[in-house]
């Protein structure tokens, strides 16, 4: 009889089965061919997707065990709530999240030993370029990446409940991507005007997003490099999941640029996952490794590390608020 520890070890080592099964079901369009309201026999699904019936039947049985689909060969298959998140046409689709994690990030993790030996990025080792330069040269992947980052942020809708933006005059979202967070904030707060600030190619991609179409009269889109400077005279600056991408020296440059540009009495609002002792199952522990593998210098930090980082840049933490997915909102101000 196998010991519980042995069974657990097998489950751990077979984790890549799950990653690739979900990724292929998404990337190949299998999920999109399963009716939203109804069931489809495996043989019919194989015909529609151009897959081998036996191989697809095995995949569906595996996905059923993972809770992605529900059904069997006799009754046909339907999507579970998890499976529905993989569809292209689902409002809160996580399809792009799965696509980039199952492809480029998956390959980077295959070179984990490089990161362990050198402390550098396995992604750069595999693809010959750091992540952000690679995205810049591959516009389609850049779009996938930005959509993936939004798909992993259900806490955006709760940010305005954790910090009062209603009295803000000018909000600057530094490296705000396609503006999903800023869009939520402006929807909830009709008074403030805003600036979406990011690299030129990201700002161009944001042209068709809600931040540009729904708030064209309230939000200016500005390209630039936050290592050089950020837009001036904001009374609230946002840094959402930016600091964890960089080492302390790079973070210091970003933070000091924000402090230099800030209007008197301004606030800096930071959204990051925070390492906490005694949370072995925490997503944050995995993301801490992910930052190493993908970005090299990136890392998750604990509260003390954030306080030290901010203090050196001339900021003091005023309050910390917990959000979903182990994310924390830090309200800071110049000290």
* Residues with catalytic function: 244
117: tokens are 């030996």
Residue in this structure with the two tokens 């995949």, named with its chain if needed: 59
230: tokens are 């950020």
SS3 assignment, position 119: coil
SS3 assignment, position 190: coil
CB 267 within 8 A of CB 333: yes
If you write DSSP's letter for every residue of 19-81 in order, what string do you get?
A: HHHHHHHHHTSTGGGS-SSS-B-HHHHHHHHT--HHHHHHHHHHHHHTTSEEEETTTEEEE-H
Residue 310 gets which letter from DSSP?
A: H
- Which residues, at least 6 apart from 107, have a Cβ–Cβ distance to it below 8 Å? 126, 127
Number of C-beta neighbours around residue 281 at 10 A:
6
Count how many Cα atoms sit within 13 Å of the Cα of residue 248 in the half-sphere of its side chain: 10
Residue 312: enclosing H or E segment and its boundaries? Answer: helix 303-312
SS3 assignment, position 135: helix
If you write DSSP's letter for every residue of 191-216 in order, what string do you get?
A: S-EEEEEE-HHHHHHGGGSHHHHTST
Choose among 36, 152, 143: nearest CA to 94.
Answer: 152
Strands (DSSP E) contained in 66-165 are: 69-72, 76-79
Alpha carbons 258 and 281: distance in angstroms, whole number: 34
């Amino acid at each position: 009889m196998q010991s519980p520890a042995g069974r657990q070890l097998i489950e751990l080592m077979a984790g890549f089965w799950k990653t690739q099964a979900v990724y292929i079901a998404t990337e190949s369009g299998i999920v999109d061919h399963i009716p939203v309201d109804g069931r489809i026999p495996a043989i019919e699904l194989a015909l529609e997707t151009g897959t081998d019936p036996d191989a697809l039947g095995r995949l569906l049985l595996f996905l059923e065990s993972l809770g992605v689909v529900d059904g069997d060969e006799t009754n046909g298959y339907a999507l579970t709530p998890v499976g529905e998140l993989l569809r292209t046409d689902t409002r809160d689709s996580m399809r792009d999240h799965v696509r980039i994690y199952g492809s480029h990030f998956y390959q980077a993790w295959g070179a984990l030993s490089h990161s362990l030996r050198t402390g550098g990025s396995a992604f750069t080792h595999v693809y010959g370029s750091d992540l952000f330069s690679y995205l810049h040269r591959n516009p389609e992947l850049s779009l996938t990446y930005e959509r993936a980052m939004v798909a992993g942020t259900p806490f955006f809708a709760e940010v305005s409940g954790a910090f009062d933006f209603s009295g803000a005059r000018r909000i600057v979202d530094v490296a705000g991507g396609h503006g999903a967070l800023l869009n939520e904030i402006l929807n909830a707060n009709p008074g403030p005007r805003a600036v979406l600030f990011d690299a030129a190619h990201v700002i161009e991609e944001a042209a068709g997003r809600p931040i540009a179409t729904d708030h064209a009269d309230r939000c200016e889109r500005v390209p630039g490099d936050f290592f050089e400077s950020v837009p001036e005279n904001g009374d609230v600056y946002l840094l959402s999941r930016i600091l964890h991408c960089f080492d302390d020296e790079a973070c210091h440059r970003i933070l000091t640029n924000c402090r230099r540009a800030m209007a008197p009495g301004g606030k800096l609002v930071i959204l990051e996952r925070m390492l906490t002792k005694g949370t072995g199952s925490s997503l944050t522990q995995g993301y801490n490794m992910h930052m190493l593998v993908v970005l090299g210098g990136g890392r998750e930090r604990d509260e003390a590390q954030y306080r030290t980082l901010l203090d050196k840049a001339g900021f003091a933490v005023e309050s910390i608020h917990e959000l979903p997915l182990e994310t924390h909102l830090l309200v800071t101000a110049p000290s």
